[in-house]
Structure 1
C-alpha cells in the first residue's frame, strides 16, 4: 500500500494482495519509521455509506464503505473517491509503471495502457 499526500488530498494505491487482504480482513496498516517516531497510515472497512478519514496519535486512517471494497476487489473498477470536509480522498489500484523503475512491481495490477504502448 502506498500513500500520497498533496495539499488537502490523500491518495492510497493498493496492490493485488493489499486489495485481497482489505476485502478479507477489513483493514490494512503500514508505517513510516522516522527513527524516534512512526507515521502510520491505514484503511479500515466500515458499514458507512461514504469515505471518511481521521488523523489521531500519528495514524492517518481512511474509512471505506464495505460495499465499495467488495466492488473494487471483485471487478475491474480502478478506484473510488470522495470528500470528508475539505479533504479529498482517493483509493485506487496500483498499476505497473510503463517506464522502467527500481521498485518491485510484481504484485501491482497490469497497466491497461501497456498494450497501447507496444
Structure 2
C-alpha cells in the first residue's frame, strides 16, 4: 500500500495482495518510522456509501465502503474517488510502471498501456 499526498488530495495505491487482504480482513495499516516518531497510514472497509478520511494520533485512515472494496477485488475497475469536505480522496489499483524502476513491482497489477508501447 502506498500513499501520495499533494495539496488537499490523498491517494492510496493498492497492490493485488493489498486488495486481497482488504477484501478478506477489512483493514490494513503501514507505518513510516521517523526515528522518534511514526506516521501510520491505514485503510479500513466500512458500511457506508462514500469515501472518508480522518487524521488523529499520527494516523491517516481512509474509510472505504465495503462495496468499493468488493468491486476492486472482483472486477477490472481501476479505482474510486470522492470528497470528504474539501479533501479529495482516491483509492486505486497500483499498476506496474512503464519505465524501468528499481522497486519490486511483482505484486502490482499489469499496466493496461504496456501492450501499446
TM-score of the superposed pair, with normalisation by structure 2: 0.99
- 1: CA distance, partners of 2:4 / 2:71: 23
Map residues 42-61 of structure 1 onto 2, 5 A cutoff: 42-61=42-61
- 2: CA distance, partners of 1:38 / 1:82: 27
- 2: CA distance, partners of 1:23 / 1:81: 18
- 1: CA distance, partners of 2:28 / 2:83: 20
The residue that corresponds to 1:15 in the other structure is: 15
- 2: CA distance, partners of 1:46 / 1:33: 27
4+ residue stretches of structure 1 with deviation over 6 A? none
Gaps of 5+ in 1: none
Map residues 85-100 of structure 1 onto 2, 5 A cutoff: 85-100=85-100
CA RMSD of aligned residues (A): 0.4
The residue that corresponds to 1:39 in the other structure is: 39
Q: CA deviation at 1:103?
A: 0.3
TM-score of the superposed pair, with normalisation by structure 1: 0.98
- 2: CA distance, partners of 1:10 / 1:47: 21
Q: CA deviation at 1:88?
A: 0.3
Q: CA deviation at 1:13?
A: 0.3
SS at match of 1:3: strand
Gaps of 5+ in 2: none
